[in-house]
A and B are shown apart, each in its own frame.
Chain A
Amino acid sequence: MAMRTRLTWLQEKCLQNYFGGKRLCLLYKASVQKFCEQDLLGKCWNHGPTMVVLNGENCVVGAYLREGFQKRETYITLFALRETEVSECLIGPHLPALLFYDAETSDCIPGFHIVLNEKKVTISSEICKKLGLPPQHSPMFIQDCETFRCEELLDERMTRDIAVIQNNLLQALRTYTPYGDLVPQARILLLGPTGAGKSSFVNSVKSVFRGSITHQALVGCDIDGVSDKYRTYPITYRDDGHPLPFVLCDSMGLNQKAGLHVDDIDSILKGHTPDRYQFNSMKPITPNHPNYIHDSLLKDTIHCVVFVFDVSSIEHLSYGLVAKIKRIRRALIKSGILHVVLLTHVDSLDLITKGDLIDICSCEPVKLKLEAVHRDFGFAFSDILVVSNYVSEWYLDPVKDVLILLALKQILYTVNDFLEDLPLNKQVSEEKYSNVCRKKRK
C-alpha cells in the first residue's frame, strides 16, 4: 500500500488554508505503518508544526500542534472538518505525547485522547459541542490516522528561485525576435467577452516589464464595455523607453448582440484598423474611413489571437456568445491565424491562494475549468494558458509575474509558428521589406 493521504484535494485545501497556507507533508499513516503511538511518535518527532488527522466514517477530526511533537509543551488546536467547514477548539499548552491515551498513568489531555491500537478517539461532550459534533459522537471510531508536517507553501527557498526564474523570463522576452525577422514586432490581438480581463492583462504585462504597477488601459464594467476603442499598446522595459518586440492589441468586448462586429475583427486581423479607432457595433470600418490603412503589410497584421476569458465566468457565457466565439475560431482557422486561450483571475477561484499559483494547472478547480473550455469551445488543452492579472495590488508579486511571463512566452512561440507557417511568397516579400528597413536604419 502506498503512502498517500486519504484526504481529498478539497479537504486538504480547507485544512491548508485554515491553518495559514501550509503544505501538508505526510509523515505517518497508520493503515500503512502501524496503529501504534510509538510508531507515530518515532516518525513525527521533531518535525516542527505538525497536524494529526483522524479519518472517521463521516468526518475528519484532528489536532494541530503549533510546535509539533517535542519534549516541551506546545499549543494544540483541536479541529473538526465537515464538508468544507472547519471548527476549532484551542486547548493547551500541553505535552504533545499526552494526546495518546496511556493506561499506565492517569495523565492525559482532558476531554480528548486517541487510543490508536483500538482505532478510536474519545472526545468529551464539551469539546464535541465546540467542534460542532453531536454528543453521541464519542468514542469515534477511526479508519486511519495520518500525521503531517506543515510547511510554508511559499518559503524563502522557493521565493528566491522564483525570482531567478522571473528574471530569466524577463531577459528572454525582451530579447525575443520574431521568426526570420519577418516583422519588427509581434502583434497580439486580445479578444473576449466584456469584463474578461483583456485590458487588465495589458496592464499586468506593462506592469511586469516596467517593474511597478501601471493602469494605462482603462478597466471597468460599464454597460457598454470600457474598451470601445481599438488600442495597440507597445510595451517598454523598465523606463528606458525602447519598445519591446511585441505589441498587445485591445478591442471592444465580444457580446452576443452588440459588442465587436465580426467584420471589424476581419479588418483588425488584416491590419486595416488604425490605433484608437472608435468601434461601432452596428457599423464596421470601411475603406472610406479617413484613417483606414489601405496597404497593410505583414507587420501591420495580427500574428496571434488570444481569446481572453475570466475563469470564474466560463460557465455563465450565453449560448449565443459561445456560438459566436466558435464562428470566430473557425474563421481564424480558415485564415491560418493561430490562437490560444487565456484564462484570467485564476486566484478568484474557491480556495486558490498565492501558494497554488506555481503549480496552478494541477489544482482541481483549475482542471475543471480547463475541461469546461475544451468541452464548450473545442480548444486543445495545450492551447489554454492560465494567469492571475494585477487588479487592485499596489506592488508586484514575483509569482504572478512568472505566470504572466510564461503565458506571454507561449504566445510569442505561437507567433513564431504562425510566421513560419506563412506561404513562401509572403515570407519572401516580407524579407525584402525587412532588408529595405535595415538599409534605412544604417
Chain B
Amino acid sequence: MEVTTRLAWIQERVLGKLLGNTTLTLLYKSGVHGSCTFDMAKKCCHQGSTMTVVHLEQDIVGIFMLEHFPILHSGKPSTCVLFAFKENNSTGISALFSNAQVEINVSQLKFFSPDGLSITVHPNKQKVHLNMEVLKKLELNLKSYSEYLECEIFRVDGVKNDPSIIKKMVDVKQHRRRFLSALRAYRPSGNLVSEVRILLVGPVGSGKSSFFNSVKSAFQGHFTRQAVVGTDETSITKQYRIYSVKDGEGGKTLPFMLCDSMGLDEREEAGLCMDDIPHILKGHVPDRYQFDPCKPIVPRHVMSPPMKDRIHCVAYVLNIKSVNSLSDKMVAKLKRIRRDVVDCGVGQVALLTNVDNCDEVLDDGFVNMSESVTSQSQIKKVQNMLNIPIANILMVSNYSQERSMDPIKDALIFAALGQMLRAADDSLEDLPFEN
C-alpha cells in the first residue's frame, strides 16, 4: 500500500515555494491513518513546522503552523499562514499571515486568531468549518461548514523559524507590486530630463553588470543575460554601456538608464582609468566606448553636453563579502571618485551585492532596512569610507544561480532602484538655475 499525497505534483511544488524553498513530507493522511485526532496527533507531534491541507470537492484549504503540532488535549499559540488553492487552479494560491491559537482535543483541531479568523477540522465527521472572515479574506466561494474528501498533514522542511520572515514571505508579492508601481509612475524631478542616468562603478567582480541583468530579469519575469558576466583575469566589462530597461516583455521603456563601466582595479594603470570619471559624469562618453586603463578619453565636444546625457546618480557597487577586506588602494580610488561625484553635484548611493538572507534586509512592512542589517560592520564601513547616509546604502542579491524568479529578490531590486531615483532627484533639484 503506497501512501502518497492527493496534491498534484505542481501544487506540491507551489506550496513548497510559498514560504521560501521548502520541502513537504507527508506525515498523516486521514484515509490511511484514521479519521480521528488521536492518530493525527500521534503522527504529527514533535516533527517541527507542519502544514495541514484539507481537500474539499474543488478547493484546497490549508494552515501552516510554525510551532510544533500540539499534543492531544492541548493548545498553543503559533505563527500561522492560511492558504487556499481555488477550484482546480494548480498554481494560483492566496495566503494570509496570522498569529493564532491552535488547539486539539478528541473531536477537533481548531485554529483561531484575535483578528477574527477561525478554522476547525472535525476528522470524525470529515468536515471543516471556515468562518466568514476566512472565506472573505481567502476569497473562497464556499459554505462555511463543508465536508472534505481528505485531510493531509505535512512536515515543512527548510522553513526559517522566524515569524517575521514568515510574514514577509506571505506579504512580499504586494510589496513587490507597490515598488513596481512607483517605478512605473516615476518622472524625473522638474521635468528637466526625460530619463535619469545611473552610473554603476565599483571593483572588478562586484556585480555591476550582474545588477543590470538582475534588474532586467526582475522586470521581464525570467532570467536575462544581456550583459556578459563571469570571471577572467581582468574586468569582463571593458566597454562603457548605457542600458535602457523595458517594463516587461514588450513593455514601455522606463525613464531611467543604467550605465555600466569597466571594473576598478587596485593596481595603477589597470581597471577603469580615474581620469575617465569626470568625463563619464559629464556625459562625454558615448555608449560602447572602449576603455583603456592607461589612456583616458579625449572628449570631442568642447561645449557642455545636454543635461540628459549627464549622470544623475552614481551607485558604488560593492560585494558585501569583500567590503571588510578592500585594500587601501581600492579605498583611495573610491574616495577619489567620490570627490569627483560631489564636485559635479551628482547624487550617490552605495549598492551592496551578494547579500545572503535577503528576506532579512527590509523590515516587516518593507519600508526601511531592518535594524539587524543596519548594524552590520559592512554598513558602518561603507558609511565611514564614502560618507554616505545609511538610507542610501542599498542591499540586493543579484540573480546568479536560481532557475526561477524570487519575489523577495525582485522587491529588493525595485526598492534599490527607487532609492537611486530619489538620489537622482535630489541632485536635479539642487542644480543651479542657469544649467
By a beta-carbon cutoff of 8 Å, the part of chain A in contact with chain B is 2-4, 25-27, 32-34, 42-43, 45-49, 67-68, 70, 149, 151-152, 155, 157-158, 160-162, 164-165, 326, 330, 333-334, 338, 340, 361, 374, 378-383, 410, 413-414, 417-418, 420-421, 423
B230 touches A155 (CB 8 A): no
A338 CA to B225 CA, complexed, in Å: 8
A420 touches B226 (CB 8 A): yes
Most buried by A among B2, B225, B401: B225
Closest residue on chain B to residue A164 by CB atoms: B10
Is B157 located at the chain interface by the 8 A CB criterion? yes
Contacts A43-B43, A161-B9, A382-B401; is A333 near B223 (CB within 8 Å)? Answer: no
Closest residue on chain A to residue B159 by CB atoms: A2
Within the complex, the shortest CB–CB distance from B102 to chain A, in Å, comes to 19
A161 CA to B287 CA, complexed, in Å: 46
Residues of B within 8 A of A32 (CB): 46
B225 touches A48 (CB 8 A): no
A162 CA to B155 CA, complexed, in Å: 24
Range of interface residues on chain B?
A: 35 or more
B10 touches A161 (CB 8 A): yes
B223 touches A3 (CB 8 A): no
Residues of B within 8 A of A326 (CB): 232
A382 touches B43 (CB 8 A): no
A382 touches B228 (CB 8 A): no
Residues of A within 8 A of B42 (CB): 42-43
Residues of B within 8 A of A330 (CB): 232
B155 touches A3 (CB 8 A): yes
Contact of A4 among B3, B90, B157 (CB under 8 A): B157
A3 touches B157 (CB 8 A): yes
Is B367 located at the chain interface by the 8 A CB criterion? no
Within the complex, the shortest CB–CB distance from A321 to chain B, in Å, comes to 17
Is B96 located at the chain interface by the 8 A CB criterion? no
* 9 closest A-B pairs by CB: A417-B226, A378-B231, A161-B9, A158-B9, A48-B3, A42-B42, A381-B401, A380-B230, A378-B230
Contact of B288 among A27, A47, A338, A423 (CB under 8 A): A423
B9 touches A382 (CB 8 A): no
A-B contact pairs, 14 of them (CB 8 A): A3-B155, A4-B157, A43-B27, A47-B3, A70-B1, A149-B26, A160-B8, A164-B10, A326-B232, A333-B228, A378-B232, A380-B400, A382-B402, A417-B224
A384 CA to B225 CA, complexed, in Å: 12
Residues of B within 8 A of A46 (CB): 1, 3, 32-33
Within the complex, the shortest CB–CB distance from B23 to chain A, in Å, comes to 9
Is B137 located at the chain interface by the 8 A CB criterion? no
Residues of A within 8 A of B339 (CB): none
Most buried by A among B9, B25, B157, B232: B9
By a beta-carbon cutoff of 8 Å, the part of chain B in contact with chain A is 1-5, 7-10, 25-27, 32-33, 42-43, 46-48, 90, 155, 157, 210, 222-226, 228-232, 236, 238, 287-288, 399-403
Within the complex, the shortest CB–CB distance from A241 to chain B, in Å, comes to 29
Contacts A151-B2, A382-B401; is A2 near B8 (CB within 8 Å)? Answer: no
A382 touches B225 (CB 8 A): yes
A26 touches B25 (CB 8 A): yes
Residues of A within 8 A of B155 (CB): 3
Contact of B228 among A2, A67, A338, A410 (CB under 8 A): A338
Within the complex, the shortest CB–CB distance from A46 to chain B, in Å, comes to 6
A68 CA to B230 CA, complexed, in Å: 50
A413 touches B9 (CB 8 A): no
A47 CA to B32 CA, complexed, in Å: 8
A340 touches B157 (CB 8 A): no
Within the complex, the shortest CB–CB distance from B336 to chain A, in Å, comes to 28
Residues of A within 8 A of B238 (CB): 333-334
A149 CA to B402 CA, complexed, in Å: 29
Beyond A374-B230, A383-B225, list 11 extra A-B contacts (CB 8 Å).
A42-B43, A47-B3, A48-B2, A48-B3, A157-B5, A157-B7, A334-B238, A374-B231, A379-B230, A382-B402, A410-B223
Within the complex, the shortest CB–CB distance from A268 to chain B, in Å, comes to 19
